[in-house]
Amino acid sequence: MKVAREARSAAVVINAGSRRGAAAHELAVDTMEKAGVPISSVHHVLFGAELAGTLDRVVADGHDLVVVGGGDGTVSCAAGRVAGTDVVLGVLPLGTANDLARTLEIPVNLADACAAVADGKVVDIDLGRANGQPFLNVASVGLSVGVTEALSPRLKRHLGPLAYGVATLRAYARHQPFGARLDFPEGDHEPITLEHLLQVAVGNGRHYGGGNTVSPTAGIDDHTLDIYAILAAPFREHVNIARLLKDGSFVEHDRVYHVTSRRVRLFTEPPLSVNLDGEIATITPTDFAIQRNAVHVVVPQSSNSASFDGPGVASGPFNRGPVGPGT
């Protein structure tokens, strides 16, 4: 299998607003160039509002490798831009949670992440869509939106991943239970109506929220969405659920509903904001769907998180070699 250094042209886009983005710019570019990655374009995005336009220009310029440095929201934005194309995405995890990197087994250490871009293998991963908006890890309503609103840049900068715990306690104290209905357009489940909810989440990847696990069987290459709803309960019950978040076994708790599907439509009362990988991006009602094998991404050779099995194997931007286990 050929590696990323054999791309025709690579662009680097680093979000300086991410937790480590401002300090990583020169080191990342220098490290990858020394490793042979053919970088021909570098973009240092100073404000989040510039990110989407910068990524659109980079894709339009015809680069076949786009290396994105930032947090999960930054990478999801990039994934939405390259989904369904032959452009390959490289990931430098420079945010606070870096849950996609955890799912794909990409090192958080910058030098190691650069080495993974240069020497890694290309796989394809699923992309979630919420009212057409992309997400890689989890989309959710309820408590998580309050957590996102409580996660100030200052809190993330000073506490790192611990900021999620502090923000969760703040959001929990203000949370108001809500009602929801889940419809399944594929017909694989009967509609589900629930009252007095803490949170509803739709997972595409495996990890979210700084290392929590969507479910014991969740994966970013399994072509399904994991949907769970947590009922409101006394605080001690939510503490018990929280203890099970790391390995995903919370979905077996009797205060949690969990199903899998390729599509789900969520209605809430009242209408609520929807959090997509840490960014509040749409509102309910929301149609969720899976875009199978949508994004080509470079992962370490040792990663078992995904494989390349999508359409167009013979005509991709790199020579990926035989497709099968371990490729």
Active-site residues, by number, are 279
Per DSSP, the residues of 23-59 read HHHHHHHHHHHHTT--EEEEEEE-SGGGHHHHHHHHH
E-assigned strands of the chain?
10-15, 39-45, 65-70, 88-93, 121-130, 133-135, 138-142, 178-183, 192-203, 207-208, 212-213, 225-231, 256-261, 263-269, 273-276, 279-283, 286-299
Task: Specify the DSSP element, H or E, that contains 112.
Answer: helix 110-119
Closest CA to 101 of 206, 222, 223, 258: 206
Give the Cα separation of 159 and 89 in Å (integer).
Answer: 29
Provide CB contacts within 8 A for 277, sequence distance 6+: 72, 73, 75, 76, 99, 100, 135, 136, 137, 138, 139, 208
